[in-house]
Amino acid sequence: MVVDLFADHRVLAFDLETTGINTKRDRIVQFAFVGSGLEDEEIRVEELVYPQRQIPVEASRIHGIYDVDVTGLAAFSGHTEVISSLVEGAVIVGHNVRRFDIPFLGHEYSRAGRKAPRPVAVIDTLELARRLKLPRPHNLGALCRRYGIDLTNAHTASADAAATLLLLWQLMSDHPQPFRQSLEEVERWLQGTSAKDGASELGRDYDDLVPLDARGRLRLDGQDIILAFGRHRGRSIEEVHNHDKSYFDWLVSPAGGLEDEVIATLRERFN
């Protein structure tokens, strides 16, 4: 089953460590790819990256990477060729990778003046946990504990990537039926309950998303702010801002009924 689904493709778990959680403004400090190539050869690439800014101490406390560790190393632009050669045409596996790591990568490529590589498919284990309706919580640590996967070095890029790959194999073994499809069909199935593509089904998972406002009308899904009400229910604020600016303007006006601090956050982020 696994061999058939991923035949003729590199399969690489991908993870980042960063200066923060804003995919547009923060920077990458470490990346890792763990998996196998076309000839089943092992691939393990992990590199530190000079982020061209100070690493906040709260971020360093999480991933253990400090300014002294990256000073003098290559900036992201020095790693684009290696990353592109790995990502282009590969199956990329990650936890919340579609909504965090891949957008983060895209913004770094834009800053470097390069076109971001495109994988052949993305298999997101957070989407998979939700799609299979596994018991919450759905964070990587909790899922690894549930399936007996060692995550001793959590929040190093290679450890998280390797754990995600093991988690995928375990879930595919326990739930083989959805994976008896083509890669394209599997990816569409995974996104069927994503915040962006499955508003009608996302409602079942709102309790798993952190409320941003007091009434829970806005929810955090990774770095995305998701509308939990109205005609754009299930869509991200970024989508609404880009495609229905008048609705966004109403939302951040007094008529929208949001708290002043929430309005300030939205205006700062999207204006």
Q: What ranges do the domains of the chain cover? A: 2-193, 201-270
Q: What is the pLDDT of residue 204?
A: 37
Q: Which tokens hold the place of 4?
A: 């058939």
pLDDT digits (tens, 9 = 90+) for 163-188: 999 999 999 999 998 998 889 889 98
Please state, in angstroms and rounded to a whole number, the distance separating the CA atoms of residues 105 and 132. Answer: 27
- CB–CB of 19/69 below 8 Å? no
Q: What percent of the chain has a predicted confidence (pLDDT) above 70? A: 92
Q: How far apart are CA 34 and CA 69, in angstroms?
A: 22
Rounded to whole angstroms, how far apart are CA atoms 185 and 189? 6
Q: Which residues in the chain land under pLDDT 50?
A: 1-3, 193-204
Strands annotated E in 11-90: 11-18, 28-36, 42-48
Domain at 2-193, CATH from 3.30.420.10, 3.30.2130.10, 3.30.1330.100, 3.40.50.150: 3.30.420.10
Pairwise CA distance, residues 52 & 108, whole Å: 12
Q: What is the pLDDT, as a whole number, of residue 172?
A: 95
Q: Is the peptide bond before 137 cis (omega within 30 degrees of 0)?
A: yes
pLDDT at 203: 37
User: What's the pLDDT at 29?
Assistant: 98
Give pTM, 2 decimals.
0.71
